[in-house]
Each structure stands twice: as C-alpha cells, then as structure tokens.
C-alpha cells in the first residue's frame, strides 16, 4: 500500500485516516482515482464503522460497502467494532486489486458479494463457516478480534492468519471463477494446480482426517494448499497478493534490501512475476529478522519452493493482466493470454 496526501494541506495521509493528522480536514477516499478528495459525499457507513470511502450508490454506500449484502448482528457494540475492522481489511484488499483494474469502472465483469457474520448474535451462538460459493463470500468477523484469531491460528497450526489474508484467500476463489472463462488460463491452471473437478468435499474431509503430506513444502505454499486444487489456487494467489503488497509498501517508504525495490517502484506495474516474487521474498526475509529483533513472529514465515514459485508467477500473470486484456468473447470477458 502506498501513502496518500491530504487534499487540503498536502501532507502525508494514510489509507485508514478519517481526518488529516496535520490540518484536521475530513478525508474522503475515491477508489476510482486512488486518492483522497475534498467535497465529496461520504459513505453512509462512515459514522457507524469508520468507512472513509466516498458514496457511490443511490443509498449512499461506497463501492466496498455496496458489496456487503449481510452485516453482523449489531445487538452489541463489540460486533460493530469487529465489523468495522473486517470492512477496513476488505477495503485494503479491494484497493490493491483495483491497482490492476479489478472491480473498477473498466471492469465490466461481475463483482463478489459478502456476508460478514459474527458468531455472537441476539439469538445465541452461531457457527460461521468462511468460504466462497458462486460469487458469495462469507467472512467470520469474530476473527477481527486478535485474541480469538491468534488462538485459532495456534489451534490450526497455521503460520499466518489475519483478516486481510482471509479476504485475499476468499476473493482469490472468486477471481478463479472469473478467470476460468478463458481457456488458455484454464489449461495453464490445470498444468500447475491439477484437476479442480475432483470432489471438493471428499478432498477436504481427507485433508482434515490425515493432514498435509509430509513433503507439502516441496509443492505448496502452505499445508492447506495441498487439500485441493481450488485451495492451492486460493492460497497461492493470496500469497502473491501478500508479496505484491509487501513490496509496494516497502517502496512507498523507501525500504530497500540490496537496492531493491528502487525508489518510486510500483509493484502493481511490474510485468515480470519472477522479478516481483524475487524482490518480495528477499525483502520478506530481511523484515523477518527485524521482527525477530522485537520478539515478534516472522512477517512472512514461509519458504517458497521452485514449484510453488512457478505457481505464484502464474497467479501474478493471470490476476495482474486480466483486466488489461479484457475483451468480450462468446459472452465472457477474458482474453488475457492472447
């Protein structure tokens, strides 16, 4: 994520800011122009969940809030806070993808819809299963509580578990549904990830019964990626998004490792997946050491094999070029490799 500026005093502003830290001006973010602007109508959810995006639909909701069809039961304040934190993570992921053209005015394809649910409701305790189904993404906002999330990370033996990662993973499933309309993408996908038509429920049951193979790290970015080709794609694409954002954020603040990334580098304009992944992994290794100096867990606690790297590069090419290669073809919208 790069930094922004206040339209009133032109000092640095950050993506989550509601007001300028310098002059106090109200900040309203325009996702189409990727900047803070003055004088625009603000999202209806601004006062409720601190949404700082501009209003776009007839009900006064922003582009991101418009995608949320169901919000958590707000019978108590804690759910509102969890919802607010989840929506902030969603906006972060959406604006990253918008740098490549996804869900912008140029993108005429369908957009995901979200159900953001809490386990604690006025009816009692609910079980919330996160996932994607035909364009509908369900997110458990209870995990916006860092204590809950960290406990589940330990219980599931996961090296990384964040709200941003949840959104990236589930949106990656949606991106697959968009991208698979292109036969060239589909052929490349199957060559690297396998046949996604194998029974999904059976594959997941097997994974939860016996776990990942002992040598999973030779082929997959995470243990869970070994469960099914769909999960391999979602985990790989989420990691590609992590690495792109790490590199972009480092460039925005002038952080370098062996001279990379160079100043004013735009990770979202990098055409070569190999170059992007190499720079991001080297930077991630350095930042791991910085975190260790403070007794914190590694920023990017993964070792990427040669096979997993190929998958990351494929995901980068597929996602970063899709909208630029947009064209109508038999009712579809993709021609990204032609």
Per-residue pLDDT for the chain (338 aa), expressed as one digit of tens each? 888 999 999 999 999 999 999 999 999 999 999 999 988 999 999 999 999 999 999 999 999 999 999 999 988 789 999 999 999 999 999 999 999 999 999 999 999 999 999 998 888 898 999 999 999 999 999 999 999 999 999 888 888 999 999 999 999 999 999 999 888 899 999 999 999 999 999 999 999 999 999 999 999 999 999 999 999 999 999 999 999 999 999 999 988 888 888 888 999 999 999 999 999 999 999 999 999 999 999 999 999 999 999 999 999 999 998 876 644 333 333 444 43
Nearest to 113 by CA among 71, 154, 68, 143: 68
Determine how many CB atoms are found less than 10 A away from the CB of residue 41: 12
State the pairing for strand pair 136-140/131-133. antiparallel
The pLDDT value given to residue 331? 37
Give CA–CA dist 64/329, Å, rounded.
28
Q: Which residues of 187-213 are buried (b: 16+ CB within 10 A; e: fewer)?
A: ebbeebbeebeeeeeebeeebeeeebe
First to last CA, the chain: 30
Give 60: exposed, middle or buried? Use CB within 10 Å, 0-12, 13-18, 19+.
Answer: middle
The pLDDT value given to residue 325? 60
Determine how many CB atoms are found less than 10 A away from the CB of residue 76: 13
Give CA–CA dist 262/175, Å, rounded.
30
Q: Cα 330–334–338 angle (5° rounding)?
A: 105
SS3 content of the chain, % helix, strand, coil (to 5): 45, 10, 45
The pLDDT value given to residue 333? 38
The pLDDT value given to residue 122? 87
The pLDDT value given to residue 156? 85
- C-alpha of 16 from chain center: 16
The pLDDT value given to residue 132? 96
* Residue 221 contacts residue 302 (beta carbons within 8 Å): yes
The pLDDT value given to residue 158? 86
pTM for this model (two decimals): 0.92
């Amino acid at each position: 994520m790069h930094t922004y500026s206040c339209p009133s005093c032109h000092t640095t502003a950050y993506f989550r800011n509601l007001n300028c830290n310098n002059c106090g001006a109200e900040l309203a973010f325009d996702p189409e122009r990727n900047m803070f602007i003055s004088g625009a109508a603000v999202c209806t959810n601004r006062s409720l969940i601190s949404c700082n995006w501009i209003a776009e639909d007839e009900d006064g909701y922003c582009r991101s809030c418009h995608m949320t069809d169901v919000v958590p039961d707000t019978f108590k304040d804690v759910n509102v806070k969890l919802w607010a934190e989840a929506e902030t993570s969603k906006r972060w992921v959406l604006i990253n993808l918008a740098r490549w053209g996804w869900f912008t005015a140029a993108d005429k394809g369908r957009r995901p819809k979200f159900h953001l649910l809490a386990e604690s409701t006025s009816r009692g305790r609910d079980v919330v299963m996160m996932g994607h189904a035909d364009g509908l993404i369900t997110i458990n906002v209870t995990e916006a509580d860092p204590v809950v999330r960290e406990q589940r990370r330990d219980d599931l033996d996961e090296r990384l578990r964040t709200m941003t990662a949840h959104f990236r993973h589930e949106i990656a499933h949606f991106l697959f549904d968009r991208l698979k309309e292109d036969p060239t993408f589909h052929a490349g996908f199957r060559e690297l990830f396998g046949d996604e038509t194998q029974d999904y429920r059976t594959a997941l049951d097997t994974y939860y019964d016996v776990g990942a193979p002992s040598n999973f790290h030779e082929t997959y970015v995470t243990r869970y990626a070994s469960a099914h080709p769909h999960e391999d794609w979602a985990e790989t694409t989420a990691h590609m998004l992590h690495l792109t954002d790490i590199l972009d954020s480092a460039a925005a603040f002038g952080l370098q490792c062996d001279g990379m990334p160079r100043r004013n580098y735009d990770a979202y304009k990098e055409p070569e997946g190999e170059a992007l992944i190499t720079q991001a992994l080297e930077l991630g290794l350095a930042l791991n050491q910085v975190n260790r100096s403070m007794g914190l867990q590694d920023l990017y606690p993964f070792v990427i094999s040669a096979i997993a790297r190929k998958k990351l590069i494929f995901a980068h090419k597929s996602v970063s070029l899709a909208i630029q290669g947009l064209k109508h073809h038999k009712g579809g919208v993709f021609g990204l490799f032609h």
